[in-house]
Every structure is written in C-alpha cells, then in structure tokens.
Chain A
C-alpha cells in the first residue's frame, strides 16, 4: 500500500480506549473525505444525532499524497463529522486545514484518526509514532489556554529537555529522531465554551474553520491532538514522482524570471505570496516590513506569511478580511491573531459583525437597546472593540468576563441568535431583507450565490459554504481587469473551451459555463454543478489537492494556456500509489462519495423541500459586480450578471434537472437504489430503505 501507513487510529474518549482500523478496509475510498464518510457511515448507527452527542464521530484523515512531493497536494488534513454550525440541522459536514499535521501523522504511522465518545474531563491526545496516550489537560493547565499557548506547552512537554533545533529522540514506539516539533491541532476558548463557530487551529493559523468542529471537540472534552513521528512513507515510483514534480513546477508554476499573465491567488501558477486582505475595503495592504512566504508541506507556492513584527503570522484570506475597517493595519492584523488564538471562524465573525453594525445603526442593538448588547459601537475600529467582540463569541459572555445573555447568544451563531432576538419573523425579517447576509444553511455569504452559480448551488445542495475556488478564479480575473486594468488571462471563449474540455464526462458542453440568466437553471448548469461536486469530492477533499492551487484550468505558462488538470492529478497519484488510476476514475469516485454524503444527509432528515436559499436571495437583487462567461448574440463574453435574484420556481426546475442527472428521486431528492447499486453502495440503499428514505427509480 504505497502512500499509506496501513492503520487508522481509533480513539474512544468515553472508555479511554485506543484501537486501530486497518486502512485496507477503506482503501477503495482512497483517503480523506471518502474514507471519512465511509467510516462515519459505518460507526454512527443513528445519523439523526446532534453534533454535540457523544456518539458523534469525528474523522481526521490524510491521503496517500500527504507528506509527499506532490505540489500543493501534500499538506491538507480532512475533518468530518456532524457539525454544529449549520441551521436548522447540523449537517454531516467537512472542513480541512493545511500545514504539516497530515505529514506528521503519517510519519507517526497513521492514515487518520477517528474520535468518538466524550472524555470525563478535559484531555489531549499525545501521539509519538505508534505510542498513543490520552492525557489529562490538568498537569499542563491546557484547558483555558488559547490555541497558541496550548501548542507551545505541548511542544515543550513532548520535547522535554531537547533543545529547539536539535535532534529529538522520540521515546514513543519505534524510536527515531526528528528536529521537528509535534504538529498540534487545538481548540481555543471558543471550542471549550461550545461556540458553534469554533475552529480547530494548527500552528499559527491553519484553521479547520467551518462546521464548528472546535465546539464538537469541546463537547468531547478534547483540547488538542499532538503528533510527532519519524517513519517513512513508501512511494511506488520515487524517480517518477521527482520527475513529475519538476516537470509540473517547471512548466506550470509561477516563474519569477519569466513572468506571464496576471498573478492570481487561487491558481496553480500563483506566486509565493501571502493572500492577505488586510486594509480592505481601502485596498489590500501588505505590511511593509520583513517577511517571508509560508507554505504547507510540499507546496510550490506559499499563500501565507510570517512577519518581522509577528503580527498576523500565517493569517490568510478571510482571516485577514475580518475587521476590515479597523483604524490601523496593525489593529487589523492583531484581530486576525485574535481569531486564531481564540479559535473563531473568520467568515461568521466577519459577516456577523456586519450584521450587528446594521442593527446598531438601526437603533435596535447596543447597550440599553431592545437587544441589550454590551459592545460600544462608537469604539468600532479600535482594538478594544474587536477584542471584546471576539471574546464575546469565544467565552459567551460580555467579553470582559461578566455574564451576558446576548454574548451567550452569539455563541449559538448569528442566525440562531437572530432567531432568538425575534429578528427573523415577519415580512421584514432579516433573512428576507438580507440584513443578515447568511444565504444558505444559516451560514455566512462567501461568494455570491445569485451570480457565481456553481458556488451557490453547490452549497445549498451540500452541507456548507463549499469554499472551492475552481471557477471563482474567473470572477477575480475579470473583476481586476475591469477595475484595475490589464487583460484577463484568457478570453471568455478560451476560458469556456479550455475548462469544458477538461470536464469529463461532460466534456465539450460549452453551455455548462453560461452563467447568464437564460441558462442559469438549465441541464447544462446542472452538469457544471455536478462535475464540480464530483471533482472536488475526490481530487480536492479525498486525494487532498489544495483548493487554492487546483484545478489547473487556464495557465499562462502552458502551451495555448491549457493548464495541467486532467493530465497531472492522476500522474502524481499513480507515482505515489502504484495504482492505474485515471482522471475519470477520480471523478467517478467523487460521484460515489457525493452519493454517500447525500445518503447521510437524507438519513439526517434532508428532503428536497428543505433545499432552498434564504428568502432574500429570491427577493433582493445582487448589487455587486460579477463578470462571468455567458453568450451574447451567440458569442462568448464576460458579462456582468449583477442585479439579478434567483427565481424561486425556476430554481425548483434546476433542482429537478440536478436530481435527474444524479439519479436521485426528483420528488424527494433521496438517492435511488439503482443509482446506489451502480456505485456499489447497496448497503447504503438498504439503510435508506430501512429508514423509509430510499428514493424511487
């Protein structure tokens, strides 16, 4: 089993038991999300439990590519389980984070970790190669620490007297030496206090942000998992892997000596540069001080940074856009650190704070107002303000250590809080006006579902803000060229041709990429959404290629701008594993995993009738610019699709197209036996039938 370590660690916190699962039992799912879903399906008998139920199982999975030289395919870790963030149901969901955790886990000899049960008191898990111990948090006083302090205390404990930078001999099974510190993933106070927007944090800012897994860990009394290992990851064809790596980076990656095209953040050819949005909306500002790019293990182009002041180390993307109107850049950078130290999801905090400001401006929220809220909004922009706000979420109090009902409400997430405050009722409810900009499953708006259709549809048909930038690159490329200058990396026609040619088995259907209003509910659009779900479910979330670098569609360094997707993914996969996997095999396996996930959601209670956006998406036109590919008089152009809503009835037509395409019952959205059987998921069909939820067809 090249690329694999052979065993998955299973930890029962209720009984303090350490067990193992042979990886081979789940090898058909390859790794990451596929394995996680399959293990979850097998271990959680009652899928209707709440995310805080001790029977909830959290899987933390690697892939065969983790810890190898696959560019932007080595450093991710996939986390799954029943989440607590989404609304009205905490869906079975996923999140993943970068850094070095998955690499170190494999060096320790494990392909993943399965967490179940609830410890009696706060514990952390100490993995040193094959030696695994559940340790009480008390000796290190870990419970109550922020995520950074927690990690450093564990580092020092595991290293003992070993000096930083010297070889450390592991006292765990297998021995071996390493210069590295353990890779620790930890929760902060937000997780301990069961805040539904609590994250898992690894190193300074690698965050498993969505799903509220920080709170799930908190409910299990699990503070952190530390892993350090010294073992080898076997590679089927070392020379082929090295050759593929060099060819890929020499041909398709950013080249400082020969710069081509517009550098973007979410493409394979991105430069090694921190993706920070500090300074918005006045324009992105990089701190003018000494700094380096920082990359996950094996990545060819880091997307984070570390700085001379240490402020905002490794902070990234939404974690830097939060508190965008801070009165100084340093305050905004410190606000990024607050999120990471307290373990709070950046997007929900960001959109949530926008919402609170609207309510304050309208005079309904603030100290002594109808919604008695302890933040003094005239101090907005100061560090004191944002620190209090983040602490309110993390500690569920007034942010100064005193009891506060509205602080406690924030920990429930903004949609649940708004509901409790009576803000969702009536024709002017905040999800009807759009004041509460949370369009799907009670989760904050990321990219606009009324415009970027694959993002919006993919999210509402799934479980979370998909946060998959495959086609979103078009939005950024064209937006920048229209407002800043320069040409897009490809014409609209080139973009459509290049992308759709790679989208097997739907290749060549150009209409998949017509984002225009006439086409937005069509069978073609259903194919785009389906392909995106299948590609990401396998190649990004199971093989664990990085969302910011893959797929490689339009690439200015490549011949005719044709990127490497469809050629390279499987080349790396096969070099590591020795399998004979095709790109289409990956898409098909992604479809299988997507079907398993749909079955789990169905068992949780999902029905077609629940699959709809918040009302404002149907009622309030999107006002921002968004240029996507569409046909104008038969010719492909980048068209501004601003100003439209999603038509509620026509969206139902789209759903019918989509369910037909997936082979699900269009009346209910339930997967059918014939479809599941064709995917070798007969036992899943049996389970659905037992629960009266098997689709017809």
Chain B
C-alpha cells in the first residue's frame, strides 16, 4: 500500500524538520543516530523532543503468508480478549482472484522512527514507552478517540485504528501495535513487548512474521516486507526468491 500522505511531510518552509532530516539521512544513518544521540536532540521548529527508536519491529513476508489471518485473530484475542479482525493491529488483505503475489498484502505497524501518529496526538496519549523498549503505545486513559493518530499515519491502511473500547465504557479509543507489550490477555508469563513474545509471530503457522531489533529501512516498504523463505520452505514447492 502506498504512502498516501507524502505531501503532508513537506511543509518545511526551508527549515530542516525532524522528519525531513531523517528522510534525507537514510536508514543506516538513522540507525546510528537513533542509537547514539537522538534522545537528546531537539528540533526547534517542531518543539518536540526526538523520540527514541523502538527496540523492536515486525517484519513480514507477503509472498509466504497463507492468508489464514491467525495473526489478526491472535492480536485482538490478546489485546481485547475477543476475536475481531477489525481490531487487529496487523491487517492481512486479500483478493483470491488475483495472481500471486499481488493477491495478498500484510500491513503491520512500522513502529516508525519518526512516528507521525505520536506527533499528531494532541493529548500525548500516544508515546514511546521506555518501560517497554520505547514501543509506540496508546495510553487509553488519556486517549480522547479523536482519530488524529489514524489520520496522521502516512500508510494505507492507517496503522492506528479507533474503535469503541469496552474497557472505557465503549468510548472511542485508539488502538495500535505495541508488540503485545501491554496486552491484557497475554498468555506468556513474561508478557510481550520488544523483550517478550508477540502473539502474531507466535501464532503464524508459516513463520511469515519475524521480530527484529534492527531498525528497518524507513523509506518505502522493502525494510518491512522481507523474504523469510528458506530452503526448507522451498522443499514444500514454494519459491525462495
């Protein structure tokens, strides 16, 4: 899915914004900067502190996925305690009449180095949580359900989603991938987050989702949509390339 809000990021008036800086500097530099100095950097024109990079990311293989949507079911199950494809923070979207590999895509939250959703939240209800490896997380108590995070997300479909939440008297609340950091129905005693287990990865029957601590290439999709097919997979008659 395309980058639908590219134009929104270019209103710089000649100044180098945090976002455009990151865009220009490239992924390798981003990784280095994030690792070394970003927590201390302040971009005056946006008057917000730079956000420390997440310590974990989900990578997917859209050519390997079998479309069972178990990842989606697991996501809503551990977060909301229900089964609901609409509440899943990872979305598998398919067209059975299309040719492989264009018949399916997986759209997961990128835990962006430069998270538009975090920047857009007017009440600071969406922030990197240092207790959970700086994963970008929604604080439900603060969230007003305004939907600014979903609107600001530059990807289609937006990785934040707003839905009625039973835990808050069915008020509208944003939901977003937290790598299962605060999933209330997490099955694993040590829980989730970058240092725990993620439901979508654990449940995927074909290992089409992978966790990494390395910051993926931020430009485009190649950093997040990767090849997880190996010779063992090929032994079942599937392509490796």
A205 to B97, CA, bound (A): 10
Residues from chain B with a CB closer than 8 A to the CB of A67 are 73, 83
Q: With A69-B70, A239-B187, A295-B67 known to touch, is A232 a contact of B105 (CB < 8 Å)?
A: no
Partner of B68 from the list A167, A298, A310 (CB cut-off 8 Å) is A298
What is the CA–CA distance of A295 and B68 in the complex, to the nearest angstrom? 5
Q: Within the complex, what minimum Cβ distance (angstroms) separates A145 from chain B?
A: 13
Within 8 A of B (CB), among A242-290: 242-243, 245-246, 249, 253, 256-257, 271-273, 286, 290
B83 adjacent to A167 (CB under 8 Å): no
Number of A residues with CB within 8 Å of any CB on chain B: 65
State in angstroms the CA–CA spacing of A310 and B103 once bound together.
Answer: 9
Chain B residues near A602: list those with CB within 8 A: none
Separation in Å of the A511 CB from the closest CB of chain B? 38
Q: Does A348 contact B (CB under 8 A)?
A: no
B37 CB, nearest partner CB in chain A, Å: 37
Are A234 and B82 in touch, CB under 8 angstroms? yes
Given contacts A69-B77, A180-B85, A239-B185, contact A272 B205 (CB under 8 A): yes
Cross-chain contact B86 with A243 (CB below 8 angstroms): no
Nearest-neighbour CB distance to chain B for A301, whole angstroms, equals: 6
CA distance A669 to B152 in the complex (A): 69
Is the CB of A176 closer than 8 A to any CB of chain B?
A: yes
Interface of A is mostly: loop
Min CB–CB distance B91 → chain A (angstroms): 5
CB-defined contacts of A301 to chain B, threshold 8 Å: 205
Chain B residues with CB under 8 A of A181: 95
Q: Report the separation of the CA atoms of residues A36 and B81 in the bound assembly, to the nearest whole angstrom.
A: 29
A245 to B83, CA, bound (A): 14
* Across-interface contacts of A272 in B (CB, < 8 A): 66, 205-206, 236
Q: Given the interface contacts A230-B86, A249-B205, A292-B65, does A69 sit within 8 Å of B156 by beta carbon?
A: no
Bound-state CA distance A287–B78 (Å) is: 38
* CB of B211 closer than 8 Å to a CB of A: no
Shortest Cβ distance from residue B134 to the other chain A in the assembled complex, whole angstroms: 26
Stretch at the interface among B26-34, B49-57, B110-118, B157-165: B157-165
| B237 touches A (CB below 8 Å) | yes
Does residue A307 face the partner (Cβ distance < 8 Å to B)? yes
Q: Is the CB of B236 within 8 A of A271?
A: yes
Q: Indicate if B173 sits at the interface (CB-CB under 8 A).
A: no
What residues on B are CB-neighbors of A297 within 8 Å?
68-69, 73
Which residue of chain A has its CB nearest to the CB of B202?
A246
Whether, in the assembled complex, B84 has its beta carbon less than 8 Å from a beta carbon of chain A, the answer is yes
Q: A272-B206, A300-B205, A308-B99 are in contact. Are A167 and B158 (CB under 8 A)?
A: yes
Identify which of A298, A302, A306, A307 gathers the most chain B CB atoms within 10 Å of its CB: A306
Give, as a whole number of angstroms, the nearest-CB distance from B23 to chain A: 23
B131 within 8 A of A: no
A-contacting residues, B36-86, CB 8 Å: 63-70, 73-74, 76-78, 80-86
* Chain B proximity of A606: nearest CB distance (Å): 39
Q: Are A292 and B86 in contact (CB under 8 A)?
A: no
Output the nearest chain A residue to B186 by Cβ-Cβ distance. Answer: A239
A148 touches B97 (CB 8 A): yes
Task: Give A513-543 interface residues, CB cut-off 8 Å to B.
Answer: none
A373 to chain B, nearest CB (A): 33
Q: Is B233 an interface residue (CB 8 A)?
A: yes
Closest to B241 in A: A290
User: Which of B64, B81, B207, B235 lies in contact with A235, CB distance below 8 A?
Assistant: B81
Whether A180 and B93, one on each chain, are in contact in the complex, defined by CB atoms closer than 8 angstroms, is: yes
Q: Which residues of chain B from 139 to 190 have any CB-CB distance to chain A below 8 Å in the complex?
A: 156-158, 161, 163, 185-187
The interface centre, meaning the residue of A103, A241, A253, A314 with most chain B CB atoms within 10 A of its CB, is A241
A219 at the interface (CB under 8 A from B): no
Instruction: Give A239 to B81 CA distance when docked, in angstroms.
Output: 8
Q: Per-position contact with B for A668-691: 1 when CB-CB < 8 Å, else 0?
A: 000000000000000000000000
Q: A148-B97, A232-B83, A239-B186 are in contact. Are A293 and B206 (CB under 8 A)?
A: yes
Residue A480 is within 8 A (CB to CB) of chain B in the complex: no
A243→B205 CA distance, assembly (Å): 15
Which of A158-166, A456-464, A633-641, A655-663 interfaces with chain B?
A158-166
Q: B residues within 8 A CB of A179?
A: 91, 93, 107, 157
Tell me if B104 and A292 are in contact (CB < 8 A).
Answer: yes
> Within 8 Å of chain B (Cβ to Cβ): is A588?
no
Measured in the bound complex, the distance between the Cα atoms of B93 and A309 in whole Å is 20
Is there an interface contact between B93 and A290, defined as CB atoms closer than 8 Å? no
* B161 partner residues in chain A, CB cutoff 8 A: 167, 177
Task: Give chain A nearest CB distance to B6 CB in angstroms.
Answer: 16
Q: Across the interface, do B83 and A176 meet the contact criterion of CB distance under 8 Å?
A: no
User: B97, B100, B158, B203: which contacts A69 (Cβ < 8 A)?
Assistant: B203
In the complex, are the beta carbons of A176 and B86 less than 8 A apart? yes
Shortest CB-to-CB span from A684 to chain B, Å, is 34
Chain B 210-225: CB-based contact to A (< 8 A → 1; otherwise 0): 0000000000000000
Q: A241-B77, A243-B187, A290-B101 are in contact. Are A163 and B156 (CB under 8 A)?
A: yes
Interface string of A162-191 (1 = CB under 8 A from B): 011111000000001111110000000000
Contact A306 B96 (CB under 8 A): yes
For B199, the chain A residues whose CB sits under 8 A away are 242
A194 CB to nearest chain B CB (Å) = 26
A281 to B223 Cα, complex, angstroms: 45
16 A/B residue pairs, CB under 8 Å, sorted by A: A69-B83, A74-B73, A152-B97, A166-B157, A181-B95, A233-B82, A238-B77, A272-B206, A272-B236, A290-B100, A291-B237, A292-B64, A298-B73, A299-B70, A307-B100, A308-B101
- Beyond A165-B156, A272-B66, A291-B237, 18 additional pairs, beta carbon < 8 A: A69-B77, A74-B73, A165-B107, A165-B157, A166-B157, A177-B86, A180-B93, A203-B96, A238-B81, A242-B78, A242-B203, A256-B233, A286-B237, A295-B66, A295-B68, A300-B68, A308-B100, A313-B103
